[in-house]
Chain A
């Protein structure tokens, strides 16, 4: 951790960055970023941007019931997917679910979680934007803000007890730091000295509540001090910086040195969710300032500066990714509705008599679910 901490100077007020204003990488860290890694980062951030835009469109068309936009905050989930080992545990909040895509989770199966049909590993039970996948050790956040963070600490603790090499990463937003679950996660992580990283994406807004109405602390990172763990404040729109901060924190955790708290400073460019209209509470000028620090643009400029992106290649790749995404959506929309009796499945490890009774009653009285792709 020493390097990141040193470079961030003071965790209260510093901001760790790797991508410099001229789109070159800070020479102190440049050696860690091969062309291949940068290409991967750029491609993944772009794919998430295109996917996010497409999902918003299908939500507006009523093809899915809800969607939580990620725009402007792509750096953290992508960096997470790239910085961790393939079997480390990830507990995303609303805007980090795409980390699993970076780890190879199938795109159409991912999208299917927003449809809740037969293609969905959650079997139509979970709300959109709550992505989990046992195959990639990712557990969805809870709709009630906060519970996933102490759960991540619990996983890390279990890893430590079982002497397993995996670590756990738990996410939350700036608003969620007000919940008791945040306190518990931080306190247990430090007291039990578990191999975990707790990452707060400070996107400056919790729906309509600005982060300054959430805490009187100078920064979120500074909260780590009182819990007895290192705090890092990183430029959350700098994929390379977030990547490196997580790498170091993960390495520290794996060495048995305990947890790290990372504040990833970013901005929610879009609405809180498909049920929100941010123009009612925030100033367009503020949004514009952050658009100028867009993580995708910055990554794109890094690529151009390195000579890795030729004229027009960005548009070509974006179009190609959009085609892939549209094809994946088409696959999902071929899926069918879950069986009506599935309501009673997975409530318990096996179907108890009282649910068997209710299942029979349902089959005898309720009409069969008509098949069709979308859930609407």
Chain B
């Protein structure tokens, strides 16, 4: 239970101005508890999708690494902790967040400091998702304040935990609609000794998806598989030097039917795929579409986008489309979901089936009974 706190005189006046920025979890809880108005929950504002109205409630004050145990591969930090700070601290110990957080600032045309809470709220996951899982798979604990101002914790700091319901997963990708994250815990991975990028050129989209499927279905531990039409089809392997060399040679043989495989040292190229640099500086709406990989080329043909980038072996399509195009209408019924990550108007998130939408509404009504957290976002 949060005990009553005294605030600096001006904390509620800020509501009118630039918004509120609690410095502690208890302060965050109290702000929400006594509030009536809607809030727009904000980490660094570097990966916002869709729009909603209200006073800005910033988490940047809830910053700092609470615990980092390299020998246990675990990190606990305030939700407002800058991603860059954490990445640097992990790198110093030869570790990293497994899921390769995309930097969306170039794509969204914004600046600011990405926070861990924002990463979790967006379930932001890059190319390594195909092998190491999404953000939700590495997230092992959360603390958050619900829409009534109550502090709730779930999970913890250990990797294996099935005690009670997994609200940790529920919070990942909830875009601030169920609560405001105050603390998050992650499981980490060591940074491999080295890596290589394998490139096939000149493949059609369909051939590329087949080549990526073949590579991902091999035992050679491919942890990135992307296709940039016109540019090439890219595979990434990482590990100890001898192992990377061995697997590169094996993959060259394994993929011989798709043409000659170029082997590029290092993995520098993957930041561009992760951050969708091919779309930077180009006009239009940007869509992020999760599909069954083998469906991807057919869907791309149907959507008639200005440009596309395939990641996750085809399971993730980034599409650049004419502003205001309803890409979902062009796609028709398909298995998966499409989110408009850049562009104006309603309907950024994929509409849900009636049964699932009812559950979502029910959960939001429980966690945020007054409907004050990012109200209007994600359909409800």
**Are A and B physically bound partners?**
no
Q: What is B's interface to A at a CB cutoff of 8 Å?
A: none
Q: What is A's interface to B at a CB cutoff of 8 Å?
A: none
